């Protein structure tokens, strides 16, 4: 919700979120580049640790791989769109977990 709010207020997308013309670096985006994907990872791993199983482990690892791959694809798109500004932003922030990863 916070990420959506920031994108809506600051990014002011035209028709789609992909049309955002301003790089958002406030709020949660000040520390991590993908707060939505981060929350999905925490949800998936939280569910797994609540009731660990072999199948659950396979599912959460697959979901984590897909989420990470999606984030990397999105980052490449952002580099193409924003250039050096996004590369510098990547150096200042982490992907999913503030100050760690």
Give per-residue pLDDT as tens, 49-74.
999 999 999 999 999 999 999 999 99
Q: At what angle do helices 54-82 and 35-50 cross, to 10 degrees?
A: 170
Give the residue from 63, 62, 60, 30 showing the smallest Cα distance to 48.
60
pTM value > 0.85:
no
Q: How close are the terminal C-alpha atoms of the chain, in Å? A: 22
Going by C-alpha positions, the residue among 7, 6, 30 that lies closest to residue 89 is: 30
Residue 10 has pLDDT above 70, yes or no: no
pLDDT tens-digit series, residues 24-37 = 999 999 999 999 99
- How big is the chain, counted in residues? 101
Mean pLDDT for 7-15 is 61
> Which pLDDT score is estimated for 5?
72
């Amino acid at each position: 919700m916070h990420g959506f709010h920031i994108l809506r207020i600051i990014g002011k997308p035209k028709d789609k979120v992909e049309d955002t013309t301003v790089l958002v670096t406030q709020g949660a985006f000040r520390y991590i580049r993908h707060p939505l994907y981060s929350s999905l990872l925490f949800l998936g791993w939280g569910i797994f640790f609540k009731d660990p199983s072999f199948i659950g482990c396979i599912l959460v690892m697959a979901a984590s791989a897909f989420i990470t791959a999606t984030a990397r694809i999105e980052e490449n798109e952002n580099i193409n769109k924003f250039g050096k500004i996004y590369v510098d932003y990547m150096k200042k922030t982490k992907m999913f977990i503030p100050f760690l990863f």
